[in-house]
Amino acid sequence: MATQKEIMRFELIMDAGNGAQKAGDILIKAFAKSGRFVFIEPLIPAEISPPKRTPHSMSGAVIRVSTNELSNMGSTSDLMLFEHEILLERRLKDSDYTIGGLVLLDMADERRAKDAYAAVIEEAKSVGLKVISFNMDDESVAIIKELNGNGKNMYYLGMMAAIYEMPEEYVAGLIRQVFKKLSEEKLNKNLTIYANGYKNALEVCPETFDIPKTEKSMTDSILLDGNTSLAMGIIDAGIRFYAGYPITPASSIMHSLSKAFPAYGGMVHQAEDEISAVGAMIGSYYAGVPAVTATSGPGLSLKQEFIGLANSAEIPSIIINVQRGGPSTGLPTRTEQTDLFASVFGTHGESPKVAISVSNVEDCFYVPHVARYITEKLRAPVIILSDYITSVSYKVLEKLPLLELDDINDISDDILARFNIKRLPDTIEMVKDNQANPGVPDKMRRVTGLNTDASGNVVYSSESNQRSHDIRNEKLEVVRRALTSPEIIGAPTGDLLLVCWGSSRGVVEEAINLANQEGIKVSALNFKIVYPLPTMLSEIFKKFKKVVTIEVAFGKENKPTEFSTLLRSETLVDIGLGLAQATGRPLKPKSVLARIKDLV
């Protein structure tokens, strides 16, 4: 008998290289296509395929499914399937499970680790999990052997499909689509394993679940992840040149564009390093072709000198930074919101620049348009801040209206409003009067990092240097004045205001809903543009007794996070420590709720 649940989170955890991500992708598609909303967090090692049967080898898909729209990963998993006991032991340490939740454990390795299996099962039970052990059938084991150890993921996929009451043939159809390049023989073997998993799940698992389909029409819906959305947004924003260097988790933007861009007249240049990538992007924009580069933390550090040059030389430029855990290589496959200062203040010298964050997959699509609008208006760099969890999370969306932007002035007010900004003035003062692109007769000019006067000539006078700073900073003031209030979730006055930005928005929104259900009143303020900050902030803050930030960043008493430091310094309001966790994993709505209860 199926238990109806409107929302559930489950995970499939295997050794890296065994296909957990692939099985997860098929499951996401199955749920989305059949009318459910999904959100996903891939758990992948920073290495490729670490030795199997080690804790380092953990690779999996955490999938949240719901009848209603989802904005975040949620708090804990209700059902977890593990390939072996070491992965279960590793995952228990994260305390990401729902007490009373189900663990499905493949016992295939038990003969080589009897004691370990017994100990882990005991441990799982002791924390309140129900453990169901299972073995694959002999036929599947034999086929997997024939496939050199591949195909286990299809068995687990079959189990999941059965447990979630999906029609067997429906998911089989998706498998055929995903593996269309496989030979008929191999495909059939995979399908047999899948079918066996499907059949056997119902024998071992006493419970199945039915997540009701949404009543909304999904006919016009699309399924998109954050980085693909950014890539498509780049095309729609009229950008025609991308330069990049491989770095996780930004690379998939370059992968998507490498495939799609040429069909829309765009070019992808894989540069020899991060510095060269930003340089080529600036070169393209200098020559008159809108361009973008994308990177992650370490790459941003390397690009800084060029970003400063673009600011001084007044060349538009767009830099996407998909934030990850750091510093250094840090946690390349985990999420963090800790590059705010590096983005806004990272460049040497006094070099103000705009930073725009994205809160979801829709924002990812439209942020290139807004970045292009602002950078071409100001002729100053704009940094886009995404993060790992946004970059990889899939979302079911209503088909997004396209802009096919050519002239930046044709950007729609709606898109600007999404980022809480109004149209900028028609004319904005530049350091240099002549801003012609190469090829324009009689307008020849030289751009440089050296200080210049209005004619563009190199000048070192004190007056002139001060003038350049004034003008560059005034450009940011122009943006500041165009900013409208950040989005307020809940009432505009009250006891507690949670301030967030980027991917934390969804988690905070869900926590507020949970709090409301318990009769606790709390509001949130979500920022898209994180620099400059709008003028009315202190007024907003003053209407609350307590203001705290909620971020995936490190903070503790006497060490505010970057964002709260910024807010404090600009508003002189005592912004407190809400939740500042730099675990590398997204925040949990339940942790935010617990913190709300502490604070009210």
Enumerate binding residues for another protein (CB under 8 A): 32-33, 218, 220-224, 228, 232, 235-236, 240-241, 243, 261-267, 269, 271-273, 275-289, 291, 305-306, 309, 313, 396, 399-400, 402, 404, 438-450, 457-458
Q: How far is the CB of 305 from another protein (least distance, A)?
A: 5
Which of residues 302 and 421 has its CB atom nearest to another protein in the complex? 302
HSE, CB side, 13 Å, CA atoms: give it for residue 442: 0
Q: Judge whether 506 and 71 are in contact, CB under 8 Å.
A: yes
Give the tokens for residue 419.
């980022």
Which of residues 100 and 265 has its CB atom nearest to another protein in the complex? 265
Please tell me the distance from the alpha carbon of residue 390 to that of residue 502, in angstroms, as a whole number: 8
Which of residues 141 and 459 has its CB atom nearest to another protein in the complex? 459
Q: How far is the CB of 317 from another protein (least distance, A)?
A: 10
State which H helix or E strand residue 97 sits in. strand 97-106
Please tell me the distance from the alpha carbon of residue 529 to that of residue 421, in angstroms, as a whole number: 8
Which of residues 392 and 447 has its CB atom nearest to another protein in the complex? 447
Which of residues 22 and 240 has its CB atom nearest to another protein in the complex? 240
Which of residues 190 and 227 has its CB atom nearest to another protein in the complex? 227
Q: How far is the CB of 510 from another protein (least distance, A)?
A: 24
Which of residues 138 and 442 has its CB atom nearest to another protein in the complex? 442
CA-to-CA dists, residue 393 to 189, 215, 272, angstroms = 30, 23, 29
Which of residues 271 and 600 has its CB atom nearest to another protein in the complex? 271
Q: Judge whether 196 and 139 are in contact, CB under 8 Å.
A: yes
Please tell me the distance from the alpha carbon of residue 368 to that of residue 418, in angstroms, as a whole number: 13
Q: How far is the CB of 562 from another protein (least distance, A)?
A: 26
Q: How far is the CB of 267 from another protein (least distance, A)?
A: 5
Give the tokens for residue 293.
């580069």
Q: How far is the CB of 306 from another protein (least distance, A)?
A: 6
- Largest interatomic CA distance in the chain: 84
Q: How many CB atoms lie within 10 A of CB 298?
A: 17
Q: 66 forms bridges with which residues in the sheet?
A: 7, 37
Q: Judge whether 45 and 58 are in contact, CB under 8 Å.
A: yes
Q: Judge whether 305 and 350 are in contact, CB under 8 Å.
A: no
Burial of 87 (0-12, 13-18, 19+ CB in 10 A): buried
Q: 81 forms bridges with which residues in the sheet?
A: 12, 104
Query: Torsion angle, CA of 147/149/153/155, rounded to 10 degrees?
Result: 70
Q: How far is the CB of 345 from another protein (least distance, A)?
A: 19
Which of residues 279 and 586 has its CB atom nearest to another protein in the complex? 279
Which of residues 77 and 228 has its CB atom nearest to another protein in the complex? 228
Which of residues 139 and 398 has its CB atom nearest to another protein in the complex? 398
Give the tokens for residue 377.
């208006």
At CA 268, angle to CA 262 and CA 273, rounded to 5?
170
Query: Torsion angle, CA of 495/501/506/507, rounded to 10 degrees?
Result: -60
Q: Judge whether 244 and 276 are in contact, CB under 8 Å.
A: no
Which of residues 231 and 496 has its CB atom nearest to another protein in the complex? 231
Site of tokens 């959100």: 39
Which of residues 51 and 288 has its CB atom nearest to another protein in the complex? 288
Q: How far is the CB of 451 from another protein (least distance, A)?
A: 12
Query: Torsion angle, CA of 349/353/357/361, rounded to 10 degrees?
Result: -120
Q: How far is the CB of 480 from another protein (least distance, A)?
A: 29
What is the per-residue burial (b if ≥16 Cβ within 10 Å, else e) of 408-444?
Answer: beebeeebbebbbbeebeeeeebbbeebeeeeeeeee
Q: How far is the CB of 33 from another protein (least distance, A)?
A: 5
Q: How far is the CB of 63 from another protein (least distance, A)?
A: 16
Give the tokens for residue 189.
């073997």
Q: How far is the CB of 569 from another protein (least distance, A)?
A: 30
Q: How far is the CB of 393 from another protein (least distance, A)?
A: 15
Q: Judge whether 491 and 523 are in contact, CB under 8 Å.
A: yes
